[in-house]
Each structure stands twice: as structure tokens, then as C-alpha cells.
Chains A and B, each alone.
Chain A
Amino acid sequence: MNIREIAAKCSRCGYCTTCPTYRIEGWETVSPRGKIQLTLKYLNGEINVDQKVVKDIFKCSVCGLCQEVCPVELPLIDFWEELRRELVQKGMAPLSVHRKLREITFRNYNPYSGDQERRGEWADFEIKPAKTLYFAGCTASFKLQNLAKSTASVLNKLGIDFTIAGKNEYCCGSPFLRTGQKDIVERLFEKNYRYWQKAGIERVITSCPGCYRTISLDYPRIAEEKGYEFDIEVVHTVSILDKMGVFERVNITAKATYHDPCHLGRHMGMYEEPRNVIRKLGIDFVEMERNREQALCCGAGGGLRSQFPEISFEIGRQRVIEAMETGAEYLITCCPFCEYHLSKSAEKLGNKIKVVDLVEIAERLISP
């Protein structure tokens, strides 16, 4: 289905008004239902959209909750991404900050302005060639290096022969796919793909759900468009921990809850693996009210945090409060971007709950 066909099938039932951004903003132009109706009119040539509406279309973290609750089962994640691409093609987007991030990434190959030459500096071990690549991603490479180190340590402890690409690892392109800027993604894909081919990579392990979704779902599509073969297995670290991890059981009584990252959960359907690992670790675990398919987004994805920080942090605040209401002292997640954003949100609420990545806990307790 193309976006016109998807829009035409919308029943306007309003179930998608559970959208976290709409719940904050409150106007129909921000609701998935409203955006879909305007898209249909726009594609039918009945209206012209202006910058206000374009901005409202981008007030969305592409968390996929609308797709989850849609009774007509519209593929809305694809819809938002395609719509954003259309707006970029027509010159109505990207929005200012998204454009800026694209410019930065064109120069630096990451959106954090990190020095590409120093991308692999977090690695405190000797890098040897291998057929399995640990793709750390931009956030773990430049912002949360402990996660990159913990992941590498876990892989070592599990006896997995792996390598890293260091300065030859480039942003996967996830932030740009979510914001309609496909041209730069193609460039980043080329850079990564060519290096992987040259290095003989057969398997990519990621600790970032955004990278995981992009490399496993979007890269094969791009490769197909370009006429390339894409025969690379893509795995998220949590799957490896679930399948291979044997742990010493944790001996603290602190309670913990788990936040489902949208790119791992609703985008990729991975809900039970992290919970299995949490159980294996013997953590006193409690679910949040909204979990798995119904989980509330952290608020950071889809370019929301960069362009609309006030909305993004309000969603983050709501999620941290929901976690605190469980009585948990730890909020575990499996995504560096969620961890980064929820930590900042928790900080604003007085650091009453500590946000941690599951890999970092597992690394400490994994049996050598």
C-alpha cells in the first residue's frame, strides 16, 4: 500500500489518539488521525500544507503505538516515514534541527559532532579481524562509552570472536530515515556496506535498537534498491544474552522495572528476550502499567528530542514517573538513546530512580 491507500483506509475511529505526543499537545493536527486526514487531502490536491502543519507532522517520535492500536491494522510506522520523505522531497522539510544534524553527519558521520577518527577510542582491547562485527552506534561510541565497553566485555566473556570497525563505523542513518532524509542514509549505507564487504563481515551485533532496526529492516531494502546482495545476519545484544548468557544471580534486593524501547519492541517485536535475561539475573522485577506492545515511548526518537525537546522531555517525565510508581529503584532498558534520555528525565525529577542498560548489569554478573 502506498501512503494514499493507507490514508484512505483510515476509519477515523480515534483509537490512535492514545499517541503520547497528541496527549500532550491536544490538537487534531498533531493526532495520528488528523495527520492522516490532512495527508489524504494533500495527496488529493485539495489542500496546501504550510509550515505549521509540517511541524505538527514531525511532532511524533515514530514510536509505533498508533500502529499497535489501529483496529484497521494500518502500517503507520512506514506511513510516517514515507510521508516525511515526501515532505523532504517537496522541499517542505527537513525541519531546522533535523537539517542541522544532517549537515553535521555529512561532515562527521555521526550526529554528535564526534571526531570520526576517534570513534573507536572506547575500545580498551586489541582489535583483530573477525567475521562478526560489534556495531556500537553513535550514542555508545560518543556519549555512553560504558555501554560499548560492557558490550565488548560481554561478547568476550561469551567467547564470541568479534571485531569493531572503529573509524570505519559510520552512523547507521536511523535518525535520518525517521526524519525523511533518505539521501544521507544511502550515503551512510554505502560507507558501512563497503567496509563490511571488504572486511568479510557475516554478522553484525548491535547494542542500539535504532541501529538494529535500521540494519536489519532498512538496509536490506536499500541494498535491494541498489541491486546489492545483503547477506548479513543482524543481532541485538539482548538476544545473545538470552541465548548464551549464564549469570551469577544478583544478591541485592533492589527492585527494578523495564522500559521497552520502541525500536526493539513495536518496531522489531522483541519483548520477551530482555525479560528472560532479567529473570536469569534474579532481579526483583516489576512491570510498569504500560509494557510490551502498549509501552509508552521514552520520547526521544523520530527526531522529537532534537526538534521538540519540550514535548520529548514531557513524555520522558511521564515514563519516569510511571517507572517510579512501581516502587522500583532501577529502570532498566536496552537502548542507549532511551537510557540517555530517561536518565536526563530522571535527573529533572531528582534522580529518584537510576536508569541503567541491561547489558551493563549483565556484564557484571555474567559467569566467565
Chain B
Amino acid sequence: MAQHDIEITISKTGEVRVHIKGAKGKSCMDYAKWLTQLIGTVKDQKLTSEYYEPDEKARIKLQQELKESL
């Protein structure tokens, strides 16, 4: 079981900061894409070391799951 955490900060002006943790490989990008479609447009994005760790199996499953909901 993998733990996926998302920290969302909505400023007083409405700007949103999303920090996706625990989703390795491209899984975090699938979350990022989904949340972007949900909230608005990207102003800035930073990738961290965990992004580059492989987790292909989990990514495909998540991608299918998010695709079904759109």
C-alpha cells in the first residue's frame, strides 16, 4: 500500500498551492494534471527528486482511475 498525501493551500486572494507527496514516478504528474483541470491554470511548477523514482504499475492504475472520473 502506498500513501499519497496532498497539501492544498488557498490564499486569501484565491491563489492555490498544491503539494503532492508520496506519489512516485509519473503518478504525481497524473495528480497534478487532474488537480489543474479541476482548479485552474498553472502559474508555476516544481519537480522534486521523488518524481524521478519509478513506479510504473501504480501510475497506470491511477491514470485509468482518474480518466474514468473525467
Co-complex (A, B): no
B interface residue numbers (CB < 8 A to A): none
